[in-house]
């Protein structure tokens, strides 16, 4: 593989992951297309590993009626001759509250950092961290349902 190919594949993985979050097609095993089985997720809602990280992400997203995640400026560094890489990108994350509110949106600007591992199926995230830079609006106050 070349650095350019790795960059393209990792950028596509970021885009597909954000799309999966927004389409909410959380069928059993959906996260295997994006995460290693032992993946760690560090986000404002907590730090979790493996299946627990996936469930936490699903629960956090379902606290909103809809979401839309935008990624830009994906920068990757795949170590030549290894199956390891890092990536970071800027994110603009829009969350629409279930209930009508004075401001129906909770918007987050941030930066994501990830480590990745090349698997037989392609690149997968082995760790992801969300760094919140700014927010606008009110975060959700209760669990869904």
CA-CA-CA-CA dihedral for 40, 43, 45, 49, to nearest 10? 0
- In whole angstroms, give the CA distance from residue 112 to residue 134: 13
Query: Of the candidates 29, 55, 27, 39, which has an alpha carbon nearest to the alpha carbon of residue 123?
Result: 39
The per-residue pLDDT for 1 is 59
- In whole angstroms, give the CA distance from residue 95 to residue 66: 6
pTM score over 0.75? yes
* pLDDT per residue as tens digits for the range 47-85: 999 989 888 889 999 999 999 999 999 999 987 778 999
3-136: CATH, from 3.10.450.50, 3.40.1160.10, 3.10.180.10, 1.10.1140.10? 3.10.450.50
DSSP 79: P
């Amino acid at each position: 593989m070349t650095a350019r190919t790795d960059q393209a594949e990792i950028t596509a993985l970021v885009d597909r992951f954000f799309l999966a979050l927004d389409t909410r097609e959380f069928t059993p095993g959906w996260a295997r297309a994006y995460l290693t089985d032992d993946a760690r997720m560090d986000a404002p809602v907590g730090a979790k590993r493996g299946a627990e990280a996936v469930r936490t992400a699903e629960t956090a997203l379902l606290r909103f009626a809809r979401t839309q995640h935008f990624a830009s400026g994906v920068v990757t560094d795949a170590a030549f001759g290894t199956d390891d890489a890092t990536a970071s990108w800027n994110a603009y994350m829009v969350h629409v509250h279930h209930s009508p509110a004075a401001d129906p949106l909770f918007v987050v600007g941030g930066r994501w950092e990830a480590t990745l591992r090349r698997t037989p199926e392609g690149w997968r995230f082995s760790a992801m961290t969300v760094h919140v830079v700014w927010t606008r609006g009110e975060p959700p106050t209760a669990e869904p349902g």
